[in-house]
Amino acid sequence: MKTYQLFINGQYVDPANGEWFDSIDPYRGQPWAKVPRGSAADADKAVKAANEAMWRGPWSKMTASARGKMMRKLGDLVAANAERLAEIEVRDNGKLMAEMLGQLRYHPEWWWYFGGLVDKLEGGLVPIDKADTFAYTTHEPVGVVAALTAWNSPLLFVAWKCAAALAAGCAVVVKPSEFTSASTLEFAALTKEAGIPDGIFNVVTGFGPEIGSELISHPGVGKITFTGSDTTGAKVYETAARSLKRVSLELGGKSPNIVFEDADLSAAAAGTISGIFAATGQTCIAGSRLLVQNSIKNEFVERLLNLARSAKIGDPMQSDTNIGPITTPAQYKKVLDYIDVAKSEGARCLLGGRPASGDGITGGQFVEPTIFTDVDNNMRIAREEVFGPVLSVIGFDTEEDAVRIANDTIYGLAAGIWTRDLARAVRVPKLLRAGTVWVNTYRAISYMMPFGGMKHSGVGRESGIDAVHEYLETKSVWISTAQDVPANPFVMR
8 Å CB contact between 366 and 311: no
Label residue 80 left, alpha or beta by phi (over 0 means left) and psi (-120 to 50 means alpha): alpha
**Nearest-angstrom CA–CA distance, 119 and 115:** 8
**Nearest-angstrom CA–CA distance, 453 and 412:** 5
What single letter denotes the amino acid at residue 430?
Answer: K
Give the chain's end-to-end CA distance (angstroms, integer). 68
Question: Measured between alpha carbons, how far is residue 248 from residues 391, 463, 464 in Å?
Answer: 29, 12, 15
Q: Which of 99, 109, 250, 470 is catalytic?
A: 250
**Nearest-angstrom CA–CA distance, 439 and 240:** 36
Angle at 415 between CA 450 and CA 472, to 5 degrees: 20
- Which residues does 271 contact at the CB level (< 8 Å), separation at least 6? 257, 287, 416, 418, 440, 441, 442
The strand pair at 289-293 and 223-227 is best described as unpaired
The strand pair at 223-227 and 145-148 is best described as parallel
**Nearest-angstrom CA–CA distance, 150 and 133:** 49
**Nearest-angstrom CA–CA distance, 443 and 461:** 17
**Nearest-angstrom CA–CA distance, 386 and 288:** 8
* Residue 7 β-bridge partners: 12, 203
Around Cβ 477, how many Cβ atoms within 10 Å? 11
Measured in whole angstroms, the distance separating CA 29 from the mean position of its chain's CA atoms is 25
8 Å CB contact between 358 and 325: no
Specify the DSSP class assigned to residue 209. I
> Catalytic site residue 250?
yes
What is the crossing angle of helices 64-80 and 154-167, to 10°? 160
> Catalytic site residue 399?
no
Angle at 261 between CA 255 and CA 263, to 5 degrees: 75
**Nearest-angstrom CA–CA distance, 254 and 387:** 9
Measured in whole angstroms, the distance separating CA 116 from the mean position of its chain's CA atoms is 22
Q: Which has the closest alpha carbon to 363: 321, 316, 311?
A: 316
Around Cβ 475, how many Cβ atoms within 10 Å? 11
Around Cβ 171, how many Cβ atoms within 10 Å? 30
Q: Which of 109, 170, 284, 470 is catalytic?
A: 284
Residues marked as catalytic: 250, 284
